[in-house]
Amino acid sequence: MHPILKLVSQRLALGLLLLLAASALIFVGTQILPGDVAQSILGQSATPEALANLRKDLGLNEPALSRYFSWLGGAIQGDLGTALTNGQDIATSMGKRLGNTLFLAFWAAVVSVPLAIFLGLVAVRYKDRWPDKMISAVTLTSISIPEFLIGYVLMYFVGVKLGWAPSVAMINDSMSLGQKLHAIALPVTVLTLVVLAHMMRMTRAAILNVMQSAYIETAELKGLSSFQVISRHAFPNAIAPIVNVVMLNLAYLVVGVVVVEVVFVYPGMGQYLVDHVAKRDVPVVQACGLVFAAVYILLNMVADIVSILANPRLRHPK
């Protein structure tokens, strides 16, 4: 088998094993949560007989291992179960919320990824000079502040005081693309500030590492400008680590939006998860955790595979 195909197959198998392990951890974690699902549904005034009947109907009296394999088998077939609090199909309810989260993450990535790469290139071009120091200082400051604090500050000054963007990021199908983008302007800004520093600094470090290579000196001796050397020769050879950090941050944009969605009351997966954690709706919490884990593992696996494909020693084995 070709070395690349072998490595890709190994990464795919490892990804499936990680997802299986994540599903087991999610199931165990939801089972040890404090409280009683039946009590949460029926209320404090429910009789012991009613609670016992509901636990039986929900299958809570069955062994944990049996419930895990039943849940996992359904998830593999696309059946994530039914919400305990409202009786709705979880996959159907989650589909719309997941679409909203991906919409928010997509536009945050559209802004943050090119901006981070551009700032990384500028920082390399002006290494150890004031543009490099200013970019590093601003981005490090933004990543050091919790996202909920950035969100509330932007909400107050930009949303309330200046009125440039809505403080509550509510979207629906009747809105045009422009209206949706206006509605999510503040959460996109927060997410961009959160992930920008990591991607920018990795871009800067990867390019500086390549700049020490002999062919970079040859390009400089040919009379190419500093920006041409960086953009044409150094940047393409630094793609692998940059892609890795971009994918990791894209995974965060999908999985780590819970706080931002709650702050801006955005109707995405994070808000959906928090709402049902408060109600102790275990099937919904399990389904959300499994989807988040699958997205995170998938994007990390894609980054790993792209890094393999970007390695010329693997593409052209002797």
209-229: burial string, b at 16+ Cβ within 10 Å, e else: ebbeeeebeebeeeebeeeeb
The residue among 264 and 43 whose pLDDT is bigger is 264
- Mean pLDDT over 288-316 rounds to 78
pLDDT of residue 42: 65
Q: How far is CA 189 from CA 43, 148, 154, in A?
A: 41, 12, 9
37 pLDDT higher than 70: no
Structure token pair of residue 130: 């004031």
> What are 49-74's pLDDT values in tens digits?
777 776 776 666 677 788 788 888 88
Residue 75 contacts by C-beta under 8 Å, 6 or more apart in sequence?
23, 287, 290
Mean pLDDT of the chain: 81
Contact 140, 194 (CB under 8 A): no
Enter the CATH code of domain 91-279. 1.10.3720.10
pLDDT of residue 216: 75
pLDDT of residue 219: 74
> What are 196-218's pLDDT values in tens digits?
888 888 888 888 887 777 777 77
pLDDT of residue 43: 63
Question: What is the C-alpha to C-alpha distance for residues 95 and 248, in angstroms, rounded to an integer?
Answer: 23
Q: List the chain domain ranges.
A: 18-76, 91-279
253 pLDDT higher than 60: yes
pLDDT of residue 39: 64
pLDDT of residue 186: 92
pLDDT of residue 38: 67
CA angle 26–75–83, rounded 5-degree value:
75
- Mean pLDDT over 293-307 rounds to 83
The residue among 160 and 46 whose pLDDT is bigger is 160
